[in-house]
Amino acid sequence: MEDFADEIAKLCIDKYIKLGKSGKPTETEWTVLSGIVLRKGDGLLSLVALATGTKCLGEIDLINTELYKDGCRLNDSHAEVLARRAFLRYLYEQINLLLDGTKSDVFTMDDKKKLKLNNGISFHFFTSQTPCGDCSIFPKDEFCENDTPPMKIRKHDYDDAGEVIMESYNDKKEQIIKDIYRTGAKCVKTEQYQDPHLGGVNYHVIGPLRTKPGRGNPTLSLSCSDKMAKWNILGLQGSLLSILIPSIKMETITVGGKCPFSLEAMERGLHKRFNNKETPGLKIMQAKFSFQQQKNHKRKYPCPSSIIWCA
């Protein structure tokens, strides 16, 4: 599946490179890239939705404006959410093609005039970095200063406070976990458990729903981890399209290379914190290919603009 993850990543990144300069970050700015790929019955991959974005409006910016009353302000412009918006537009276009008598890559109509998904197709999600929120909270690995090679951790367990309980394979080559990767997403105020903001691994709790960080004031938008978990359970199509079409689930989720990644945290954030059973068919992977405009020591500022594209 590593080769498949690289195919998905390369397809999205290559399309981004071919797009014009408008909306792209400068040399000191970073952004996130997300996309959705259609795999047809013959195995052919086709990119159908793509977006970049890092911004989300705060509550004050969103509500206290005339534009909000007119429905002209977009709450959430993170790449994952915009890619899904582009995907919805693609689905509406595919429905229109079918109704106009043209062949659709996604839908067919049965004898009862109901829309069905074409046989053998599947959809695959890509994001250049781990989604904000619960999926981004996992231990940083630090090693004793010696010549021994890094060891694998056998198991990570968490207590109610979010503290890591760690087992190692070899007591003589002890691996020390001092800190965790942190997310700017804040726990929803109505959640039972809140971040203690203590040092090291006790900074966050895991499991609660979170809202995205905003431009200086809290947002009303749930984190990408929470939204993707919803799509994983209910489908990408949303409530309106669900009246017309079957549920569309993600078969794979690929995270870009050269960014912090934990399969355990991704599985927890997308389904295990709600239902510890395995999600049938969902495969989570990390590609080797990386997005060059992701955050690094040279790119310190989030790009204020976004790109949104669909086939």
Is the four-CA dihedral 79, 85, 87, 93 of positive or negative sign?
A: negative
Q: Measure the CA–CA gap between 302 and 311, rounded to whole angstroms.
A: 26
> What distances in angstroms separate CA 144 from CA 173, 200, 211, 270, 272, one per listed residue?
8, 17, 36, 33, 32
| Closest among 160, 105, 143 to 310, alpha carbons compared | 105
| Closest among 134, 154, 165, 127 to 271, alpha carbons compared | 134
Instruction: Output the CA angle 166-269-81, nearest 5 degrees.
Output: 145
Total length of the chain? 311
> What distances in angstroms separate CA 72 from CA 68, 92, 158, 264, one per listed residue?
6, 21, 43, 39
Q: With beta carbons less than 8 A apart as the criterion, state whether 30 and 300 touch.
A: yes
Other CB atoms closer than 10 Å to residue 267's CB: what's the count? 17
Written as six digits, the tokens of 101 are: 């008598």
| Closest among 126, 45, 140, 79 to 290, alpha carbons compared | 126
Q: Measure the CA–CA gap between 23 and 293, rounded to whole angstroms.
A: 12
Strands 29-30 and 301-302: parallel
User: Is 163 tagged catalytic?
Assistant: no
Among the listed residues 80, 93, 142, 278, the single catalytic one is 80
Q: Catalytic residue numbers? A: 80
